[in-house]
Structure 1
Amino acid sequence: MRLVGLVLLGCFLGRILPAKSPNQLGQFLYWVGVPISIVSFLRLTDLSGQIWIAPAIAHLAILLGAFLAWLGIKGQEYFTNSVPQPSTQGSLILAAMVGNTGYVGFPVVLALVGKEYFAWALFYDLLGSFLGAYVVGVALAAHFGNATEHQQQVTKAIFFNPALWSFGFGLLFRQVSIPPFMEFGLEKLAWICVALTLILMGMRLSRLNSWHKLPQAGSSLTIKMLIVPLLLGSILPLLGVTGSPAKVVLLEMAMPPAFATLVMAENFGLDRELAVTALAMGVILLLVTLPFWLWLY
C-alpha cells in the first residue's frame, strides 16, 4: 500500500506543482538521492552467495525480450503481410527488453523484500540492465533509427553515471566504521530518497498524456512484464537462486520499460509515441502485476 500511496501522491503533486518540478526532483535523485541510497544500503546488505549470477540473468532477460519482440514482428509480417516501420520496430524491441530496474526496481525491492538483499537488485541493474541498455539498446536504436549517436556521448553516459561511481565507492565504504548515529542518519536519508523516487514516478506518470498505439505497446509489455519473468523465473531454482534472492531477481525482471527507452527514441528518431505509451502503461500495469508475482512465487 505504501508503494501505491506514494505513486498516487506523486500523481497529485505532478498536477499542482510547476511543470519543471519533476525534472528538478529527477536531477536531485540522479546526482544525489540514488547514489546516497546505494552507498547506504550497500552497508546493510549481504554480498555473499551467488550474487554475481544476477547480472547474467539480467543479460539473459534482455536478450530473450529482444528475441521475442523480433519474433512477434516477424509473426505479424507473416500473418498480416504488413510490417511496422523500422522506427516502430526499434521502439517495440526496446520496450520489451530494457526494464526500469533502478528508479522503479530499487524502491519496489526494498519495500517488498528488504534491504538485506538489495545488492541483488543493485548488481542486476548496474552490471546487467544498465550495460544492456547502453550497449545492446544503443546498437539496436542506431540500427532502427534515422539518427546517429556519437560514440563519445554513449561513453560519457556510461562512465559519468553517478550510480555506477557510488556503487564502487559503496563497496569500499563498507569497510569503514562510522558512529551509530551517522549510520542511522544515513539509512533514514536513503529511505527518504526511496520515497522521493516513488513520488517522482507518480509525477512523471501524471504528465504522460500519450495513450496512442495501445495494442503495439501491449505486445511489448506482455513480453517484458509477463512472458520473460515467467520463463526465466521458472528456471531460477535450477540456477541455484531460491528464496528472497529469487524474489528480487523476479521483481527486477518484471519491471516496466525504462525511461531510457524514451531517451533513445528521441535521440535516434524511433517511435516516440509508442515509447511514451509503453512507459505509461507499464507503470500502471506494475501496480496490477506486483501482487500476482508475490502470490505466484
Structure 2
Amino acid sequence: MTNISLIAVSILIGILLQKLKDFPADAPRTLNAYLIYVVLPAVSLLHISKIDITLALLLPISVAWITFTFTWIFFGYLGKKFNWKRNTIGCLIICGGLSNTGFVGYPVIEAIFGAEGLKIAILVDQPGSFIVVSSLAIVVASIYGAEKMRKRDISKKMLLFPPFLFFLFAIILNLLNMPVSGMAESILQSLAGTLTPIALIAVGMQLKIRTNDIKDHYLWYGLAHKLFLAPLLIYLIYGMIIGNNPAEQLIYKVSVMEAAMAPMITSSIIASSYNLRPKMASLLVGLGIPISLFTLAFWYYVLKFTL
C-alpha cells in the first residue's frame, strides 16, 4: 500500500511544484534528462544482466509489436471508413498504439510487482516499445504526416538513446554470464531507487490540462483504445497462450498492465514532429497519465480475480 501511495504522492508533488514561482520552469526537462542518462541505464544494467533468458520472455517483448500493429489496422480501417483526416489517423495510431512502458510503466510495475516485475517491464519497454517507436512509428508518421525531420536524423537519435545502449550492454553481460555485483551493484541500486519518485514528480510537473481541450471526441477514441481495448487484446491473447501456467503468471500480469499504460511520451513527440495533431498528441499523454491510474487499478483487479 505504501508503494501505491508513493505514486499518487509523487504526482501530486509535481503538480504542486508547478505553482511555485521560484521553481525553475525547465525542471521537468532536467529531471527527464537525469532519468534518461542516469537512472534508466542503471536499471537496465542492474536487472537485465541477471535475468534468465528463456523463450517465455518473447511474450513481454512482443506486447508493443502486437498492440501497435493492431492499432495501425484498427484506426487505419476506421479512418478510411469514416473519412477521417490523415493527420488524425496518424496521431491515433502512433499515440494509441504505444504505452508509456518506461517513465510511468517502470515505477508503477515496480511498486505493484517489485524487482521481479520490473525486470519483465524492461523487456516490454526496451526491445519492445522502444524499437517499435523508432521503427514502425516513424513509418506511420511518414505515411500520414507532413515530415519536418529527416528519418535518418530521428533514427540516429533514437538508436543512440542511452537506456537502449545500456540495455544492449547489459544483454552482452548476461550472455557472457557476467552479472553486475559487489560495489557496482550497490551503486546501481542506489541510483535505480530514485526512479519511482523522480519519474512521477516529473510527470506531475508536466500535467497542464484546460477545460476546452477535452471536447475533442477523437481524443476519447484514442484514450478508450489505449486504456481498454489494447490491454484487452493482450489479456485475451496471452491468456490463451499462458493459461494457468503458474511459472508465467507474472509475465502475463506485467504484460497486460504495461499494455494498459497511458500513451508514450516519445510517441507524442514524434506525432508533433510530423504535424500529426500536436495538441491532441500532447493531450493523449497529459490526460492519459492521470486517467490511467484508475484504469490500471481496474486491470489490476481483473487480473487478481481471474487468475
Q: Same fold, TM exceeding 0.5?
A: yes
The farther-off stretch of 139-148 and 35-44 is 35-44
* Cα displacement (A) at 1:287: 1.2
Could you tell me how far apart the structure 1 residues matched to 2:216 and 2:123 are?
A: 32
The farther-off stretch of 105-114 and 10-19 is 10-19
Residue 259 (1) aligns with residue 265 (2): yes
Equivalent position to 2:181, from 171, 178, 183: 178
**1:60–1:177 CA distance, 2 compared to 1 (3 A):** closer
* Cα displacement (A) at 1:177: 5.7
Residue number in structure 1 paired with 2:291: 285
Equivalent position to 2:59, from 35, 48, 53: 53
Equivalent position to 2:76, from 70, 75, 86: 70
Cα offsets for 1:116-136 (capped at 9, x unmatched): 132321121111111111211
Q: Normalising by structure 1, what TM-score?
A: 0.89
Question: What amino acid is aligned across from residue 144 of structure 2 in structure 1?
Answer: F
* Cα displacement (A) at 1:257: 0.8
TM alignment of 1:86-235, pairs within 5 A: 86-173=86-173, 175-176=178-179, 178-179=181-182, 182-205=184-207, 207-209=208-210, 211-235=213-237
Question: What amino acid is aligned across from residue 34 of structure 2 in structure 1?
Answer: F
* Cα displacement (A) at 1:156: 1.1
Residue number in structure 1 paired with 2:17: 13
The sequence identity of aligned pairs, in percent, is 24
Q: Normalising by structure 2, what TM-score?
A: 0.86
- Describe the SS at the equivalent of 2:25: coil
**1:163–1:213 CA distance, 2 compared to 1 (3 A):** farther
Could you tell me how far apart the structure 2 residues matched to 1:272 and 1:55 are?
A: 28
Contact 1:46–1:116 at 8 Å: present in 2 too?
Answer: no
**1:171–1:146 CA distance, 2 compared to 1 (3 A):** closer
- Describe the SS at the equivalent of 2:146: coil
- Describe the SS at the equivalent of 1:230: helix
Q: Which runs of 5+ in 2 are unaligned?
A: none
Contact 2:209–2:287 at 8 Å: present in 1 too?
Answer: no
Question: What amino acid is aligned across from residue 178 of structure 1 in structure 2?
Answer: S
Residue number in structure 2 paired with 1:237: 239
RMSD of the TM alignment (CA)? 2.1
Cα offsets for 1:243-274 (capped at 9, x unmatched): 11111101110111111222112211111111
Contact 1:44–1:116 at 8 Å: present in 2 too?
Answer: no
* Cα displacement (A) at 1:178: 3.4
* Cα displacement (A) at 1:149: 2.9
Could you tell me how far apart the structure 1 residues matched to 2:240 and 2:187 are?
A: 40
Name the count of aligned residue pairs: 289
Could you tell me how far apart the structure 1 residues matched to 2:252 and 2:147 are?
A: 39
Residue 33 (1) aligns with residue 39 (2): yes
Contact 1:142–1:149 at 8 Å: present in 2 too?
Answer: no
Contact 1:213–1:273 at 8 Å: present in 2 too?
Answer: no
